Structure 1
Amino acid sequence: MASENGRKNLAFYINPNIETPFNIIEKGGVRSKNINDVRNITFPKKLLLKIVPEDFIDPSAYDRQDYAKIHAGRFVYYDESDQGFYSQIYGYAVLKGSKISVEPLVEITKDKLRASIYYIPNKFGEYPSVEHIRQTFIETKLKGYLGDEKINYQIDDLKKQGKKLGILTIAKGVTPENGQIEHYILLKEVGKKVGKVLEGGRIDYKEQNAFTPVMKGEEILERKPLIQPKDGFDVLGNMIKGVYLGEKIFIPGRNLEESKEKLSFFTAAVNGVISIVDRKVSVDNKVVIRKDINLESGGNLDLEGSVEIYGNVKSGFEVKATGDIIIHGNVEDAVILAGNDIVIDNGVLGKEKARIKAGNNIVIRFAQNTHFYAGKNITVKESMIQCTVFAKNTVIIEGTVVGGEITGKHGVMVKVAGSDKGVETRLTAGVDPEVQRKIKDKEEEKKMLEGDYTEHLEDIKMQFGNQFLIDLKGFLSVLRGSRKIKFIEMLTKLGNLTKEVNRVKNEIVEVRKEIAF
């Protein structure tokens, strides 16, 4: 601070009437900055203000005022020896009241991870050097200096572009690296869908896929390991803490095992469906449903494993499972398909579309207007009315059967069949309609192939005569050019048709073997 002396003046080497470096201009919604007065651009150790005698003359001084007490503000120091106020940094000098300061021409981004400095010449056209910029960085106590080389590179780039002004990046913070808690992520999509989109954009609301079926060996969970976070810092020196990401939403449950091929992966140990209870992810090979099968419950079911339903299956819906299907209610005009057994405690109240098919056995109490197929036995506890039934083994009806067609390959056992009202009831044993259909299809295929063979043979005769049937080798020896190529092509096709006819004949023989008991 200068001492008071009424015979002294203040010599300003800057414009003392400027209080801010930039003038903000807004035009057309766009804000821009203009430097107010380049006289106030200053460098380290540059004179800003001096206390001088009244008779002091210095043409380089910008202004001269009566003496007043002046204080050195930020980035300004006072030299007692010459009573001068000097800049400590490259920046913009301003006088506010009785305090002279130098404002660093530095801008810091909102996230505080980058600091830039305005590259502007002073009134003499002198630009700040890299040393000036480094000194400013040190005095302002910023962190993350880029280094002289990178700053020089930016300055050279401005010069190459012919720019007289610019902004240089001088410091960068370090972004933190987030870690993660050990947690599991579910690799399968679960949850009820609105429905299945059909051709034309229509939606089948019965196909909601309320359960997620999975196969043994399918990947269900992935374990994400614990990763420690790494802290960062901003250009002001503040630490930015890295955080732990991830949520402990899932943990492995029943029928999941660690994959031997892919570490950190858990696979299904059985075929089944995914169940999630209290964060625990399991694969159940038996699903228990304690409500009716309808739109509200999720629509049609198509499951790996078995299903047990404590309710009714409503008309128009389907239940499919690779294992057993156990239903403790009624089945209306619906479709039930099981890879193993089907047990229906009550009955099937079909109309036109009811279909019950099991890979093994079917056990029901009663049924009406329903198609049944069983890979083994069908057992009916009470009655059947107007049903079409086939069992690869035996059909057992412990009550009455009225109308329809009952077929058991190894037998049909019925307590009471038919009625006194003349309703036709057909019971058949010893035949397999499925085998008969296969034989019929194969016979039709053989007939078609034999027709093709005969037609192709006649075509060859028409083009080449009958001589090739008597002496094929001699006939080929006299053929030449394209005619010979054509004959060989037609003869090859005839041979292929012969192979196809023989193949179908052999298949018919094999299918007929299935008829044997």
Structure 2
Amino acid sequence: MIDNCRTGYFQFDARQDGLYFIVFPPKDGNRPVSIDDVLYYIEKKKINCDTVKLGEAVKAGCNTETEVKVSEEIVHPYAEFVDYRISADCMRAEAVFYPPFVGADMLTMEEIVKDLQYLGIKHGIDNNSIEQMLSVREYGKAYNVAAGTAPRDGQDGYIEYKFNTELKPRPKINDDGTVDFHTLENINHVNKGDVVAVLHREDRGDDGIDLLGRRVLPKKVNHVVFRHGKNLVQSEDGKELISQVSGHVVLEGDKIFVSNVLELVNVDNSTGDIDYDGDVVIKGNVVAGFTVKAAGNITVSGIVEGATVIAGGSITFNRGIQGMTKAVVKAGGSIVSKFIESAESVSAGGSIEADSILHSKVTSKETIKASGKNGLIIGGDVKAVYMIEAKAIGNTMGTNTTVGVGVNPAMKRRVDELKNSLDKLGNNKIQLDQLLSAIRKKQELEGSLDAEKHELQTKTMRNVIMLEQEITKQKKELEELRKQIGEEKRACIKVYDAAYVGVKLVFGDQCMFLKKKYDYCQFVKEGADIKCVAI
């Protein structure tokens, strides 16, 4: 009898008169003997006996110890043994205990470990499980006696996009129910230095080891890399994709593109108004009522109707402006247009050049040239600081046409304003500097400042910084105005064909109405008079 076994179990007893079979009932309601285990045992050990009697004994042994003679043969006693089962993936080994013949040897820890090693198991033998198995000896139960180290599966790499990858332009619905086609979110704006995408590298996981000591690979994961065009650079650690320019970002397939040139077919209901931090190229037209703003240059291949076009750089209109008395065009640099007609306002920080300028208000801080085949300036108000050139100014019909050069009197007044303002700002700064100096001396003498004086010091320093910024800004404006005023002495209006009656010439604060036709000449200011001289 095996004392430490609490489940039902059986033993064979080899005696002189034959083979006996003994069934021990379970303790405390545990599992009774299974006939399947008995049949497996006799098949494993090649024992010939009466299986009917075995079955009857198993049934009776559920409740009481039962002994029955099952064979007349003399059988060699078998020791306790274990049936080992290794899983197909070699990651788990189970052991099922079978009882010894009465009086035969019991297994030890060392013998079980040697058995496992003989089977080729080099990794994962569970000594604790074996000790538990030996202490309890539940026969017929499968114990896990060895386990491989399972691989740790990783995760696919992926790219996190910091912009909308599925732009779908939708018009804005106003509170009154009307539809605003001017405001469409159809551009992913990006500034220089912005992170447009973040790379989350794949986690490849960790290798496992099976019972035979072999490496077990985790599942394959997807490896991802940034695919991108120019104007993008990866961070030092390779995890961020950074824009090198201000412009817009798009995703085509899995490739990221950043450009500081926005290319459009037309500006109309399909695009809405455009406000772009870069260059804009429009292959078609700008429809009336819409606005195009760009920090850089703007190029329009088609017609600009009664629209607003504003550029920080230069503007080029390959066909021209059909203003409908509504068009507003403003450039920080120069403007080149095939023609300018019926524009409410066209202004440039640089020069303006067009084949013809008709019935429009046009101003330039440099020069205006009506060059090309026609070279016309007819109607409207056209003014430049340095020079205006045209083949013809006005027409035979005496259309009211104003052309002017030199500095606007308002600019001179602005110079005086800036001088007075700079004097006041300079005095204020001197006073603030003196106050700061006094506070610092007090701090040096006393070692520290009370809360009130510390707050005064902080406020004063902030005011000094703001004053310095304003002084710098106004000095820059004053310098630019003085430069323009200095160039005013050489301002002129050149006519290579004719200037007609009805034209008003303006030189600064002086004006002259043409009472006759002038051919191939230039107008200049001499003293307080405007005179016509040879080119």
TM-score by length of 2: 0.49
Q: Do the aligned residues in 1 keep the contact of 2:262 with 2:278 (CA within 8 Å)?
A: no
Out of 314, 323, 328, which is 1:340 matched to? 314
Deviation at 1:368, TM superposition (A): 2.6
Change (3 A) 1:304 1:39: same
Deviation at 1:394, TM superposition (A): 1.4
Change (3 A) 1:324 1:205: closer
Deviation at 1:357, TM superposition (A): 1.8
Deviation at 1:409, TM superposition (A): 0.7
- Secondary structure of 1:380's counterpart equals strand
Matched, 1:88 2:82: yes
The two structures, once aligned, show a CA RMSD in angstroms of 6.9
Q: Do the aligned residues in 2 keep the contact of 1:186 with 1:221 (CA within 8 Å)?
A: yes
Structure 1 gap ranges (5+): 16-34, 70-78, 91-103, 118-127, 156-166, 457-484
Q: Distance in 2 between matches of 1:418 and 1:68?
A: 137
Change (3 A) 1:507 1:36: same
Q: Distance in 2 between matches of 1:168 and 1:203?
A: 72
Cα deviation code 1:24-48 (max 9, x no counterpart): xxxxxxxxxxx9725569xx99x99
| Residue in 2 that maps onto 1:377 | 351
Q: Do the aligned residues in 1 keep the contact of 2:363 with 2:384 (CA within 8 Å)?
A: yes
Deviation at 1:380, TM superposition (A): 3.1
Q: Distance in 1 between matches of 2:151 and 2:274?
A: 51
Matched, 1:311 2:285: yes
Q: How does 1:86-485 map to 2 (within 5 A)?
A: 88=82, 146=124, 148=126, 171=147, 173-175=149-151, 189=163, 191=165, 193=167, 206-210=183-187, 215=192, 232=208, 242-246=219-223, 251=227, 253=229, 255=230, 286-289=261-264, 291-297=265-271, 300-305=274-279, 307-313=281-287, 315-349=289-323, 354-387=328-361, 389-397=362-370, 398-403=375-380, 405-413=381-389, 415-417=392-394, 426-431=402-407, 435=411, 439=415, 442=418, 445=421
TM-score by length of 1: 0.51
| Residue in 1 that maps onto 2:23 | 12
Cα deviation code 1:275-295 (max 9, x no counterpart): 777876666565543x21234
Deviation at 1:436, TM superposition (A): 5.2
Out of 27, 30, 43, which is 1:37 matched to? 30
Change (3 A) 1:226 1:512: closer
Deviation at 1:349, TM superposition (A): 2.7
Change (3 A) 1:10 1:213: same
| Residue in 2 that maps onto 1:465 | none
Deviation at 1:410, TM superposition (A): 0.9
| Residue in 1 that maps onto 2:482 | 513
Change (3 A) 1:60 1:134: farther
Deviation at 1:13, TM superposition (A): 2.9
Structure 2 gap ranges (5+): 1-11, 13-17, 95-106, 133-142, 433-452, 488-535
Q: Distance in 2 between matches of 1:373 and 1:169?
A: 89
Q: Do the aligned residues in 2 keep the contact of 1:367 with 1:383 (CA within 8 Å)?
A: yes
Q: Do the aligned residues in 1 keep the contact of 2:186 with 2:271 (CA within 8 Å)?
A: no
- Output the amino acid matched with 2:369: I
Cα deviation code 1:213-243 (max 9, x no counterpart): 565x888899999999976567899955532
Q: Distance in 2 between matches of 1:437 and 1:114?
A: 92
- Output the amino acid matched with 1:430: G
Q: Distance in 2 between matches of 1:40 and 1:505?
A: 104
- Output the amino acid matched with 2:292: E
Q: Distance in 2 between matches of 1:175 and 1:230?
A: 6
Deviation at 1:302, TM superposition (A): 1.0
- Secondary structure of 1:354's counterpart equals strand
Q: Distance in 1 between matches of 2:31 and 2:24?
A: 12
| Residue in 2 that maps onto 1:29 | none
Deviation at 1:359, TM superposition (A): 1.6
Q: Distance in 2 between matches of 1:321 and 1:502?
A: 26
Q: Distance in 1 between matches of 2:382 and 2:185?
A: 35
Deviation at 1:510, TM superposition (A): 3.5
Change (3 A) 1:67 1:352: farther
Deviation at 1:430, TM superposition (A): 0.3
- Output the amino acid matched with 2:223: G
Aligned length: 399
Change (3 A) 1:276 1:116: same
